[in-house]
Amino acid sequence: MIHTIYRAFFLCALPYLLQAQFIINSPKTRSVIQRDGANRAQLIIAGTAPNSSSTIEARLIPMVVGQGTPSDWTTVATVTGDHTFRGTLAALGGWYRVEIRAKAATAIIADTAVNRIGVGEVFVIAGQSNAQGGIEKNVPPAIDDRVSCIDLFQYNSIDTQAFPFMFSHVSAGASIGPSNSPYLWGILGDSLTKRLNVPILFLGAAQGGSNSTEWAISAAATPATLPYQRISATLLSYINRLGMRAILWHQGESDGGVAEQAYVNNLNSIISKSRQQLNHSRLAWLISRASYISGQTNSQVIAAQNRLSREVSDVYAGPATDGLIGPDNRVDDIHFGGNGLWRVANLWNQSLTDLFFSQSIPFIPTTSTIGTDAGWQPVTTGSPFSSLQRVGYRYESSSRGFFLLVGSSGPVEGRLERLDSGEFTDTSWSTLTPTASSSSNNPGFSDYASLRGYPSSISPGRYRLSVRQVGDTGPGYQLETVLHDYRNTLFIGNEPVIQQTGPVVSSDLTINLDLPQANFATAGNVDNFVVNVFEVAGLPTSSGNVRVNITVPVGYSLSFASSLTNINVSGGAYNPVAVDNSQWTATPLVADRQLTLTMNAGTFIPGNGKSSLGFSIIRTTANPGSAANITVNVADDPTKSYDSNLSNNVYVRVISGL
């Protein structure tokens, strides 16, 4: 009788035991794989299968309809003698639930799924503090679910042994690891996902206060030292597995005493080093035009940055930010904050043009060499309960303040135990406080529903963090780690799917200005440029009422010809550029310096389309050595018939009279 009962129990439990043996090592939730020029990628499907299985099948289901291309069940791997498997699954750009099943002949033995797998665009952010962030504390999160990061922050040193291969959403509290804060990058991520309709992954490799000479010297060292070690470690630990589109470089404020040629040489050496490390000679870089610090700019640095995008292959012009000044843009006359975050993010979005995406050659790693390990992981005991979504902590070694952080759909208890010889006595279980109602709540705790604080009592060392559901009496799910400063995420479960609350109901326009050569040597000099008006919500504008304003500074005049069909952009590498001037009517507002352009009746900008306008600008009375702005903006649309989002409507371009 006992034997029969045991056998019945075993047979009932067998499917669950088999399911538990089905382990997926790759892909990782919220990871983004770089797509190639044809919008394709190969996903590595790898793990350990149940004993009796022989083949592995997988398919793709978009997380949201319209955000990817579904696929049928495809055999991706044969299970080996040690029950492991590894294969590839072709995917187009999108955000997916990857469903995986193990089969023995035609019988399905076990199945599972990994949510939020991306095929899209991967960027590394490098430079100094206006790339790294951390000064402005009230930063917006990414709204779109498809903007990812590594939630890791290593400030004083780089330790690749502590690099996890675990991905998070760019929230207000997450870091853009290994080295950056969220800063303006969530805003940019939202703009790019809306425009490109693919996921975005940012990795941070910047270092505040660094100058180009320090970067060049550290890149030449063997092994690389800081600050270049931040790029090197990111490329070798993450990009070699994920691929990437480009490095986004914002630096120059700390190069006040650096001559033009020295800056060019320094950046050239860094660019060359990064390309050599990836064995990808065409790795793209976008170089910001940035030198402003506390009221001062450096024309030699700006000239060097402009030269790099003109003279070095696969280097592109990033945003020109010296014109963004004042307390509405910079919190301390150096670092961006407030509305300045939105404006700089908009400039980055405009610099990442359709032309850039069509011309740049992404780095795509060879699938046969891609690792599938999980990077650094805490030592764990037990299994996460079904409602547990994430576990982490926030630690400040200088003050010894510690918070245990837990994301769960139900109430939880937590405790902390010291594992080395250090002193710590408070090992009791305690119900965690809801983060939203805690007096300790701050943006750094976003993503976590509950917390437990240990103020000023935790010295550095090795600890065990344990969590369990309220009402349980067992040891819970345990994670062992040496404490590191700042916020650290130790566990992320397969997050629940949150459906969209409603469709996009109106078009959204954003704008940029293409003028690589913006220096005017003498009075009478003429430059040609193009303004591109992009629709990024996937919906067409209304007909005949789109309005755009453009203003050039005093000392210059502006010319627009409705008969123009193409134009040679000054300093442009791909002339002539086709323009749509015949679809627009110009109305002068301020002499020859300001125009309003209105689309003609019967014309419109299609969903995810654009309209390009060609202009000429002439230097008239501008003083030698002067610098001023061309400003172009989508006119406010109270009725939302052509534009529903005011945050991405302005573009500013600095021009100089030599």
- CATH architecture for the domain at 379-492: Sandwich (2.60)
pLDDT at 505 over 70: no
Phi and psi of 43, rounded to 5°?
A: -85, 135
Which CATH number does the domain 122-179+187-252+259-366 belong to among 3.40.50.720, 3.40.50.300, 3.40.50.1110, 3.30.9.10?
A: 3.40.50.1110
SS3 readout for 210-260: CCHHHHHHHHHCCCCCCCHHHHHHHHHHHHHHHCECEEEEECCCCCCCCCH
**What single-letter amino acid sits at 37?**
G
In the chain, % helix, strand, coil (3-state, to 5) comes to 20, 35, 45
pLDDT at 529 over 60: yes
Residues 6+ apart with CB under 8 A from 512: 349, 350, 351, 353, 531, 532, 534, 651
Evaluate whether 615 touches 559 at the Cβ level (below 8 Å).
yes
Evaluate whether 243 touches 199 at the Cβ level (below 8 Å).
no
Task: Report the pLDDT averaged over residues 132-156.
Answer: 90
* DSSP track, 503-556: ---S--EEEEEE-S--EE-STT-EEEEEEEEEE-SSSPPPSS--EEEEE--TTE
- Fold topology of 509-657: Immunoglobulin-like (2.60.40)
pLDDT at 10 over 60: no
Tens of pLDDT, residues 562-606: 999 999 999 876 688 889 999 999 998 887 899 999 999 878 887
Evaluate whether 644 touches 575 at the Cβ level (below 8 Å).
no
**Is it true that 12-117 and 509-657 share their CATH fold?**
yes
Minimum mean pLDDT range among 249-258, 330-339, 448-457, 467-476? 448-457
Q: Where are the domains of the chain?
A: 12-117, 122-179+187-252+259-366, 379-492, 509-657
Residue 497 pLDDT class (50, 70, 90 cuts): low
Residue 3 pLDDT class (50, 70, 90 cuts): very low
Residue 538 pLDDT class (50, 70, 90 cuts): low
Sign of CA dihedral 45, 48, 49, 55: positive
Q: What is the pTM of this model?
A: 0.74
Q: How far is Cα 200 from Cα 120, in angstroms, rounded to an integer?
A: 6
Identify the pLDDT of residue 79.
97
Q: Are strands 107-127 and 246-250 parallel, antiparallel or unpaired?
A: parallel
pLDDT at 385 over 60: yes
pLDDT at 73 over 70: yes
Q: Which of 205, 479, 237 is nearest to 373 (CA)?
A: 237
Q: How far is Cα 650 from Cα 639, in angstroms, rounded to an integer?
A: 19
| Whether the bond into 223 is cis, omega within 30 of 0 | yes
Evaluate whether 307 touches 300 at the Cβ level (below 8 Å).
no
Task: Report the pLDDT averaged over residues 396-417.
Answer: 94
Identify the pLDDT of residue 360.
98
CATH class of 12-117: mainly beta
Q: Which of 41, 44, 48 is nearest to 27 (CA)?
A: 44
Evaluate whether 205 touches 126 at the Cβ level (below 8 Å).
yes
Sign of CA dihedral 330, 301, 182, 499: positive
In the structure encoding, which two tokens stand for residue 300, read together? 């030699």
pLDDT at 34 over 90: yes
Evaluate whether 246 touches 288 at the Cβ level (below 8 Å).
no
